Amino acid sequence: MSLQINTPYAPIEKINWVGLAEKEIELYIKREDLSHPFISGNKWRKLKFHLLHAETQEKNLLVTFGGAYSNHLLATAAAGAKYGFQTFGFVRGEKVENLVLKMCAVFGMQLAFVSRENYQQKDALFTSHFGSNPHALFIPEGGAGDLGELGVAELLAEKYFQENFTDIICSVGTGSTLRGLLMGIQTQQLNCKAHGIVVLKGAEKMEELFQDYPSSAYALHHQFHGGGYAKANKDLIAFIHYFASQTGILLDQVYEGKMMLGILALIEQDYFKPKSKILAFHNGGIIGLTGIL
């Protein structure tokens, strides 16, 4: 048996937005959100090598971690079902019900709610529940780590990146997607800068995560968290509605709405030079929108 994981459909589209032409900026969006309805975007990319690793290690149970609205838990549940693995998710905090967790259960994931305190001790949780099961595989929260970054990096080997975007941008939660993009830029020797729109408040220490890359290779933008992680103010919600009505593209309120608002603000402030060709990564997360509409 050999696991066959095909590259998903995730086209690049041009965004026609008022004011871009006047600034001589071209803005494109990589529709990673279209790759799968429930294994969307970077979560698919970050899981790919974990799944291949699971197969070579003869694991049949994927054990992972996430919050109650975790796109990663849902992605793992759906990917597990698709590729023939059982799945188990530790959920942070007291028991709640929502559409994300219900969909996890539909895909056969077993869920266990754990206190915020215990949630911090992920190795201990894994060992106490699965220490005696040689077929259980620990997958870090968010699909992070070297295997996750490799899956993101691989994306930049696709041929259209050779036509040179000057800047590529993603939202930043744990930062592993941005690290993957940086790895891809380096291995493919692309001549472009990576930007991260940080969605957490007070995450200035995040810079330390990227110290192994030259500081000219990337920029972290900390001014667009909009009040903090998963906080969605009226302006953001109004923007998400307006953007959808103008482009047909839905953005979630936790990550990509903030990213797009940030990109348009940076363009407005002349942060990017005229003739810049910018590519934004849309990593999905749309099911979380159901929590606020």
* Site residues, ligand PLP (CB under 6 A): 41-43, 71, 142, 171-177, 252, 255-256, 283-285
Shortest Cβ distance from residue 261 to ligand PLP (Å)? 14
Strand, coil or helix: 66: strand
Strand, coil or helix: 262: helix
Shortest Cβ distance from residue 76 to ligand PLP (Å)? 12
Alpha carbon distance 85, 55 (integer Å): 9
Phi/psi of residue 140, nearest 5 degrees: -60, 155
By beta-carbon proximity to ligand PLP, the closer residue of 65 and 136 is 65
By beta-carbon proximity to ligand PLP, the closer residue of 136 and 283 is 283
By beta-carbon proximity to ligand PLP, the closer residue of 87 and 177 is 177
Residue 163 neighbours by CB distance under 10 Å: 7
Strand partners, 61: 86, 136
Alpha carbon distance 25, 23 (integer Å): 5
Shortest Cβ distance from residue 148 to ligand PLP (Å)? 8
Shortest Cβ distance from residue 259 to ligand PLP (Å)? 8
Shortest Cβ distance from residue 180 to ligand PLP (Å)? 8
* Residue nearest to ligand PLP as judged by C-beta position: 285
By beta-carbon proximity to ligand PLP, the closer residue of 251 and 267 is 251
**H-assigned helices in 160-271:** 176-188, 234-247, 256-268
Which runs of E-coded beta strand occur in the chain? 12-14, 26-30, 61-66, 86-92, 110-114, 136-138, 167-172, 193-198, 218-221, 277-281
By beta-carbon proximity to ligand PLP, the closer residue of 80 and 173 is 173
Shortest Cβ distance from residue 131 to ligand PLP (Å)? 27
By beta-carbon proximity to ligand PLP, the closer residue of 80 and 284 is 284
